[in-house]
Amino acid sequence: MLLNQITIVGVGLIGGSLGLALKKKKVVKSVVGYGRRRGALHKAVSINAIDRYCLTLPKAVKDADLVLLSTPLGSFEPLCKMMAPHLKEGAIVTDAGSVKGDLVKSLSALLPSYVHFVGGHPIAGLEKSGVMSATGVLYQGCRTILTPSPQTDPDALKTVRALWESVGASVSEMDPYDHDRILSFVSHLPHVVAYALMESLMHPIVASLNPVAFSAGGLRDFTRIAASSPEMWRDIFLANKKAVVNSIDVYQETMASIKKKIIKNDAEGLIEIFKRANSIREQVAK
């Protein structure tokens, strides 16, 4: 696969890492970046994540064969509205957002009939953000989920699949709503828990004791993802509201069960839960 031009809208960790990988693999002739901050885009050029940049969206997408949306989810619809009149016939728009569902429908509807939308989600990232954290090997061995609808153009789907496979990703396809239900548990809920735990350390019952000063590796490792972008995760939680709230409900039920066993001194019951957790954790670690 060789594309003439890919435009990355939002050249941060995710977009910048893709640009680095694509240029290294030489599967695209030109990688164009779009963003609002000239300084960040200049840095992206300096580390070879993009070839050039534009500060106006119409100019950035004008000749693009493929456009990747790699900004916070809340900006996807406004960006699609802005770029729609300037996309060429046959152009493909895809994204790197971690919520699909209704978003796939809404973004597809905002684009001209001659432009193809393919929902995508590379399950990769770091707790740090910004293009200076980008790495050309971020997607090697990672899973990328594509979420086609019945209206998705088959050739566009093949192109987006080939794009991610070219940078080392393992590509799966699933229904957009199934994606959101699964990710609410394995990705969104862990971030909710990490943020909530950090917030709990500010509770008056413990905050005056300066608990962070006495923390060790357990707290640091468990809450690593609480260092992620607040704006990005705000948008994710709100965009996937129903599934995230459901996952929180299930988590609270589980916590209530553990709490009850502790209150009742149910040692065997705790061991059963912990052994199941050990078994599942071994699968995660593989």
Q: Residue 251: give its domain's CATH number.
A: 1.10.3660.10
Q: Are residues 98 and 112 in the same domain?
A: yes
Is the pLDDT at 132 greater than 90? The verdict is no
Contact 45, 30 (CB under 8 A): no
Last residue of a domain, one of 174, 202, 230: 174
Find the CATH number of the domain harbouring 46.
Answer: 3.40.50.720
% of the chain beyond a pLDDT of 70:
98
% of the chain beyond a pLDDT of 90:
84
Q: Are residues 55 and 25 in the same domain?
A: yes
Q: Are residues 26 and 156 in the same domain?
A: yes
For residue 253, the tally of other CB atoms under 10 A from its CB is: 9
What digits encode the pLDDT tens for the residues 231-247?
889 999 999 999 999 99
Q: Residue 36 — pLDDT band, cuts 50, 70, 90?
A: confident
Give the whole-angstrom CA distance, residue 85 versus residue 88.
8
Q: Are residues 225 and 273 in the same domain?
A: yes
Residue with tokens 């709990």: 200
| pLDDT the model gives residue 1 | 63
Q: Are residues 116 and 136 in the same domain?
A: yes
Q: Are residues 168 and 68 in the same domain?
A: yes
For residues 172-198, average pLDDT = 96
Show the beta-strand stretches assigned E in 96-176: 116-118, 120-123, 143-146, 170-173
Last residue of a domain, one of 139, 159, 174: 174
Q: Are residues 141 and 270 in the same domain?
A: no
Q: Are residues 74 and 196 in the same domain?
A: no
Last residue of a domain, one of 150, 174, 198: 174
| pLDDT the model gives residue 212 | 92
Q: Are residues 135 and 214 in the same domain?
A: no
Q: Are residues 100 and 14 in the same domain?
A: yes
Is the pLDDT at 52 greater than 90? The verdict is yes
Q: What are 36's two structure tokens?
A: 């609002």
| pLDDT the model gives residue 124 | 85
The count of structural domains within the chain is 2
Is the pLDDT at 202 greater than 70? The verdict is yes
For residue 131, the tally of other CB atoms under 10 A from its CB is: 28
Contacts of 219-225 spanning 24+ positions with Cβ under 8 A? 222/194, 222/197, 223/194, 223/197, 223/198, 224/127, 224/194, 225/127, 225/190, 225/191, 225/194
Q: Which residue did the predictor score with more confidence, 125 or 171?
A: 171
Q: Residue 127 — pLDDT band, cuts 50, 70, 90?
A: low
Residue range of the domain that includes 74: 3-174
Give the whole-angstrom CA distance, residue 123 versus residue 266.
38
User: Which of the residue ranges 24-28, 40-44, 132-136, 230-234 would you say has the lowest mean pLDDT?
Assistant: 132-136
Q: Are residues 32 and 170 in the same domain?
A: yes
Q: Are residues 154 and 183 in the same domain?
A: no
Is the pLDDT at 27 greater than 70? The verdict is yes
